[in-house]
Amino acid sequence: MKCLFTKKKVEDAILSLGGYWSPLSALARLSEEIGEVAQEIRVNGVGSTLIKELSDVFIISTCLANQYCANLDEELINIGYSRNIHELYDSTSEYHDITEAFLDMSIQASKISRILNHYEGDKTPKCGEDTCRVASEIAKLHVILVSISKSLKGNLFEEIERVLLKNLSRDKGRFGHSQDPTTSSSIQRFKKVAEKTNCIFSSRAKIWGSYNFVEDLSLEENLENNLKLLKRFNRVAPCEGLDGFVIEVYGKEYGDRLDNLSKTLRRVLTYLSDKDPAKIHCMNQNILRSDWRFSFGGQTFFVTTFAPCYPKKHPRYSHNPFSTFVLLQPEFSFDHNGIHAGNPKRELIKEKIRSKFRENGSEYNIDLVRQPLEVYKYVKPINIDDVPVRWWEEK
């Protein structure tokens, strides 16, 4: 059994209860659970009930990891441990002093708190301060929890399953929840695109989604509701390796025809450009320059659109008659997959991707991809031989 299996069980349980807390609320919950571990040690000492308290720490920290799209299996491997639960138990050391164990757990939790304060709070990282990732620090916390459980001769993961089952019946409707970019309806619907695409990297992409689209509000008002979230994405993405932020525009009229898709993209990018906290306002610049890139908050993005106006076999089909998606992909995310200018194997990787699309009847125009102007790549033509779409021009 892999630890990822437990991660999925935690996610399923939390979603059935209504969804995730805001990250800082979850951090407060983590602090509360660690305090309960301390109280259990003080009142009852090192007993079997302590593992139950440890499982609560594991569950809430896994919730936080999920909210930052962490792959905890991968993180365990990166710090030198197996992602297999039984092998993980075998490779961890036992604690002989519960005080030392608790101190290690508290120190690790404080590292998580520091990172989240940088992401979500008011603390600005010091100049020259090492950049730590919440995904890695939570994986290290989990190793400590497994080590303590091993010292107590108990099975942490069996206890986690018992706690999750108990919580499903006890906590239904007990807590308030906020919208989360990893579970919003936009990201749930975009998963269909990610599942159906022939891109070889989509299955492991880490993507946040915009908040639920409110049909009674204008497109611009919905975008305004997501400005803070996009700013959060810009803070988190470089450290946690997030690959994209998808904006769903919900309503048939936004993407049922190519001209409507063009108008929608123009409105989205113009609004974000006007509200750019870095005040670059890229849409006011000459977008027909070969070095032009869309940017927001000092981060440059490649933009991809998916809409219902495309045929089902088209690589930009949205798989929903009411959903138009605008995917903002930070340029550093191409480094994760080797599709950056400095990689000598770049063209081989790109040809592998193109071949996958071609084999599945979703070929696209190579000349359009290779031409130097970025703006022509944001909206693809309906047919492979059609002229490039000048989506930025009002008609």
Q: Which of 104-118, 133-147, 186-200, 205-219 has the lowest mean pLDDT?
A: 186-200
First to last CA, the chain: 57
Q: Work out the burial of residue 284: count CB atoms within 10 Å of its CB; fewer than 13 is exposed, 13-18 middle, 19 or more buried.
A: exposed
Residue 334, pLDDT above cutoff 80: no
**Is the predicted pLDDT of residue 390 greater than 80, yes or no?**
yes
pLDDT above 60 (res 157): yes
Mean pLDDT confidence for 226-254: 96
pLDDT at 196: 80
Q: What is the mean pLDDT of residues 233-256?
A: 96
Contact 184, 212 (CB under 8 A): yes
Widest Cα–Cα separation across the chain? 75
| Structure confidence by residue, pLDDT tens digits, 192-239 | 998 887 665 667 789 999 999 999 999 999 999 999 999 999 999 999
What is the edge-to-edge ordering of all strands in the sheet holding 323-330? Answer: 207-209, 244-250, 323-330, 299-306, 294-296
Q: Determine the Cα–Cα distance for residues 331 and 342; give it in Å rounded to an integer.
A: 13
**113-125 residue pLDDT tens:** 999 999 998 877 7
* CB proximity list for 201: less than 8 A, separation 6 or greater: 336, 337, 353
Structure tokens at 52: 């139950």
In contact, 278 and 298? CB cutoff 8 Å = yes
**3-state secondary structure (DSSP) of residue 162:** helix
**Nearest to residue 158, comparing CAs of 83, 52, 76?**
52
Confidence (pLDDT) at 10: 85
Say whether pLDDT at 250 is over 80. Answer: yes
Helix, strand, coil percentages (3-state) for the chain, rounded to 5, are 55, 10, 40
Read off the amino acid at residue 355: S
Q: Could you tell me which residues come within 8 angstroms of residue 123 by beta carbon, excluding any fewer than 6 positions away?
A: 114, 117
Torsion 295-299-301-305 (CA) sign: negative
Tokens matching residue 185: 């309806």
pTM for the model: 0.88
pLDDT in tens, 5-64: 677 888 888 888 878 999 999 999 999 999 999 999 999 888 778 999 999 999 999 999
* 331 half-sphere exposure, CB direction, 13 A CA radius: 12
User: Which pLDDT score, from 0 to 100, does residue 18 have?
Assistant: 79
- Report pLDDT digits (tens) over 312-327: 989 899 999 999 999 9
Please give the pLDDT value at position 198: 60
For residue 166, name the pLDDT band (cuts at 50, 70, 90).
Answer: confident
Confidence (pLDDT) at 122: 85
Q: Model confidence over 347-386: pLDDT tens digits?
A: 564 555 556 555 565 555 555 556 678 999 999 999 988 9
pLDDT at res. 273: 98
